Amino acid sequence: MTGVAITGLGVVTCHGSGTRALWDAMMAAPVTDPGPVSDPFAHMDVPVVQGVSEVYLPAESQALARTSRLALTAVDEALADAGLPLAESAGAARARIGLSLGTCMGDSGLHEQWRADGGKPAERFTSALGVAGEIADRLGPLSVATTISNACAAGGFALGAAADLVRSGEADIVLAVGADAYSRVMLACFNRMGAVDPVRCRPFDLHRRGTSFGEAAGALVVESTEHARARGATVRAVVEGSGWTCDAYHLTAPEPGGTQIIRAMRAALDETGTDSDRIGCVLPHGTGTQLNDVVESRALNEVLGVDVPLYSLKALIGHTGGAAAAVAAVAAALILRYRTVPPNVPITEQDPECRVWLPQGLVTPLASDRIMVNGYAFGGNNVSLVLAGAGTLAGAETLAGVGT
């Protein structure tokens, strides 16, 4: 089976643009409260978000809608990190390069703007597909440009699909991206459900009151190990396994027994051919909603036990919707690079029903070279991914710059 290497990383969050900004924030673990949205039509009880400051986005991208701007910011960094000048690629080489994008709402802000302002409809296509179109416009003809909109697990599905395209031989390189910006309709829906925490996103905290949204994009360049080896690319991490399942239980609530999220985790583990005790850290879905955190905790206990450290990214950057699992995968690759589990953003009191290890106030050495990333979503969509350090690749010593 073809190995799948991650050779480029890019990210933008409320803490800044770039992997260095994300890693610095992860290590500092600041308590960052969401701020008010700059939307005069946000007539809702809790109109707050952990937004991305304009200073973190390229000025030349201002003509684009916001989710596309976030996505392209992350894509540009990932391509540069991978040493992949797509603009210079010849037609034959480009025909082996693909794009797999995950997003909840796409560039819905364009649609919301003209509806609220009473102006003319946007000339641009405003569905979720438009973001992939903007990236393709930037990069030029590709072998495939697909959009996966499996709600808040979309970025994880996009990475899993990208890895499958590489494993199957359909592509040599696939750019996996997750992106979502503030959306009035999404935040309003969660307000109507009473599922927005007015404080911030507090996964596994006894006093959590729902989730809190953030803006972000994460991008990963994945390619076959053979292709990476041939072009002398530096391997950042490896996609070893992925598991996809669906609860088929409820539109918004997870199945209380966690049967299908357990199956997703075990399917991802089975692809690695290793035991569950080789997982050194988990980046949980951890939305801060009452039921999700309890169900995921019990599922983790059953599959991995209670001793594996969790790193709860949403406590740092908010729930970033369709970007969440892709940004978590970028964070996982950084944890593998530095072999350190950063301290979690402190919580007040851990929910006794959530029997998970959530290190706070200290860094924890990564005890094993594999990390699990979970992503769950409305519709019962579940995805689990296992990322491994570059040193786990067969023949890793022949790959240039492995693990640096």
Measured from the Cβ of residue 119, the count of other Cβ atoms closer than 10 Å reads 9
Provide the 3-class DSSP secondary structure of residue 358.
Answer: coil
Residue 325 near residue 375 (C-beta atoms within 8 A): yes
- Cα(59)–Cα(193) distance, integer angstroms: 36
Candidates 211, 190, 191, 189; CA nearest to 200 is: 211
Per-residue tokens: 22? 């994300």
For residue 346, give every residue at least 6 positions away whose Cβ sits within 8 Å of its Cβ, in sequence order, or none: 29, 31, 360, 361
Distance set, CA 371 to CA 47, 200, 247, 310, 384 (Å): 34, 26, 24, 10, 10
Per-residue tokens: 347? 């919580």
- Cα(247)–Cα(258) distance, integer angstroms: 8
For residue 246, give every residue at least 6 positions away whose Cβ sits within 8 Å of its Cβ, in sequence order, or none: 260, 379, 380, 381, 382
The DSSP bridge pattern shows strands 97-102 and 173-180 to be parallel
Phi, psi of 272 (to 5 degrees): -80, -25
- Cα(133)–Cα(144) distance, integer angstroms: 11
User: Which residues are known to be catalytic?
Assistant: 152, 285, 319
Measured from the Cβ of residue 2, the count of other Cβ atoms closer than 10 Å reads 15
Measured from the Cβ of residue 373, the count of other Cβ atoms closer than 10 Å reads 31
Per-residue tokens: 10? 């890019």
- Cα(24)–Cα(253) distance, integer angstroms: 34
